[in-house]
């Protein structure tokens, strides 16, 4: 299992990953536009992420084993001056409950600290996703603020907890 940076070479496997897990993801987050779920949509998405990666704003990670995308783990809003970023992730439904989300978050924490020199990661989790909250807590994230009625997923209004992680190696 390894962490790879998203590239155009992943387009077919990324489209398959997104299509296979669309209903699963939409249980927890707002749906993507219909056009996303096509070759052109995925290629445009990868191009957008590549530009953001090149500018230093994003690290688009893929958790991959034996050529299969198991999950997506992204660092957004990277700020080298503040030494911080926002972590987001999604794991294929068939790979939940196996510790892979925890492993992916750990790999992103290591990448953020050791490669990018970041000391703080932020994350957001909705009330409808207690498994993600458990993963973040297991990896040392602490709750910072809570926003009731932050999102509507389907017909359910959900609150959002903002979390943060501080590297043990941070030196102010």
Task: Output the average pLDDT for the chain.
Answer: 92
Sign of the alpha-carbon torsion through 72, 93, 45, 156? negative
pLDDT value, residue 170? 54
DSSP label at residue 31? P
Beta bridge partners of 163: 123, 143
Residue 125 included in any domain: yes
pLDDT grade for 169, boundaries at 50, 70 and 90: low
Residue 143 included in any domain: yes
Q: How many folded domains does the chain comprise?
A: 1
Q: Looking at residue 107, which CATH number applies to its domain?
A: 3.40.630.30
pLDDT value, residue 25? 84
Angle, to 10 degrees, between the axis of helix 39-54 and the axis of helix 11-25? Answer: 100
Residue 13 included in any domain: yes
What are 56-97's pLDDT values in tens digits? 999 999 999 999 999 999 999 999 999 999 999 999 999 999
Residue 172 included in any domain: no
Dist CA 65 CA 60 (whole Å): 16
Quote the domain boundaries for residue 126. Answer: 2-166
pLDDT value, residue 128? 75
Q: How far is CA 94 from the centre of its chain?
A: 17
Dist CA 89 CA 7 (whole Å): 17
Residue 77 included in any domain: yes
What are 131-162's pLDDT values in tens digits? 999 999 999 999 999 989 877 777 778 788 89
Closest of 62, 93, 64 to residue 75, by C-alpha: 62
Q: Is the pLDDT of residue 28 over 90?
A: no
Residue 120 included in any domain: yes
pLDDT value, residue 154? 76
Query: Cα separations (Å) of 51 from 37, 54, 60, 130, 145?
Result: 20, 5, 11, 33, 31
pLDDT value, residue 19? 96
pLDDT value, residue 151? 75
**Mean pLDDT of all residues in 164-169:** 88
List Cβ neighbours of 36 (8 Å cut-off, separation of 6 or more). 18, 42, 45
Closest of 57, 101, 107, 99 to residue 81, by C-alpha: 57
Residue 110 included in any domain: yes
Residue 133 included in any domain: yes
**Mean pLDDT of all residues in 23-45:** 89
């Amino acid at each position: 299992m390894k962490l790879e940076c998203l590239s155009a070479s992943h387009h077919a496997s990324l489209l398959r990953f997104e299509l296979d897990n669309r209903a699963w993801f939409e249980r927890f987050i707002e749906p993507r536009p219909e056009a996303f779920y096509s070759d052109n949509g995925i290629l445009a998405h990868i191009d957008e992420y590549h530009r953001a990666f090149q500018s230093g704003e994003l690290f688009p990670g893929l958790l991959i084993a034996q050529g299969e995308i198991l999950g997506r783990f992204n660092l957004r809003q990277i700020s080298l001056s503040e030494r911080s970023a926002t972590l987001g992730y999604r794991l294929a439904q068939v790979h939940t409950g196996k510790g892979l989300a925890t492993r992916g978050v750990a790999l992103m924490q290591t990448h953020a600290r050791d490669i990018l020199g970041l000391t703080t990661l932020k994350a957001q989790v909705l009330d409808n996703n207690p498994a993600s909250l458990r993963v973040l807590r297991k990896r040392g994230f602490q709750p910072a603020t809570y926003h009731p009625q932050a999102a509507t997923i389907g017909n359910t209004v959900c609150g959002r907890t903002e979390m943060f992680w501080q590297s043990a190696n941070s030196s102010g």
